[in-house]
Amino acid sequence: MSEQIYNVLFLCTGNSARSIMAEAIMNRVGQGRFQAYSAGSTPTGEVHPRTLALLKRMNFDTGFARSKSWDEFAVPEAPKLDFVFTVCDNAAGEVCPIWPGQPMTAHWGVPDPAHIEGTDTEIALAFSDSYRMLFSRISIFTALPLASIDRMSLQTKLDEIGKSKEKADECP
């Protein structure tokens, strides 16, 4: 019998940096167990060029990357979602659509590198830091024994991952 593949949606406001990174990371780290997607409440319509550059440096195929609305995932024909994670504080505070499948949700806030001002080095560091935080949280999540953990315990673990020491300073 084949193992269940869990559908995971990463949400942000613009869907141009953090959620795109999270989608890429999850599809690599969780390959065979997870199918990741990303979306935004008010998508910018384009993926931030520094996001694409970082992913390419990390040997990701960026052909998947496009900035899209979360509305694509709130229709009956959308994939049944098992998990929905917000990776920015703005998206966490917004009223989300009703997701097909009654997914588990958690907030994993990460600072937005797309809004950092400074030198090229400072901006590159912000993108790298966001990637590192997301990679850490996603790695912890994919190591959980999902098939053998009850829903309440799993929710506690999801919330703890978002509050890990890797969290953004502005996260609750």
pTM of the complete model: 0.90
DSSP string, 44-71: -SS--HHHHHHHHHTT---TT----BGG
Domains of the chain: 6-162 (3.40.50.2300)
Q: What is the pLDDT of residues 25-34, one digit of tens each?
A: 999 999 999 9
Instruction: Please report, rounded to a whole number, the percentage of residues in the chain having pLDDT higher than 90.
Output: 77
CA dihedral over 80, 83, 88, 92, signed as positive or negative: positive
Give me the pLDDT at residue 74, please: 87
Q: Which residues are catalytic?
A: 12, 88, 96
Give me the pLDDT at residue 168, please: 40
Mean pLDDT of 86-106: 75
Give me the pLDDT at residue 172, please: 27
Q: What is the pLDDT of residues 126-166, one digit of tens each?
A: 999 999 999 999 999 999 999 899 999 999 999 999 987 54
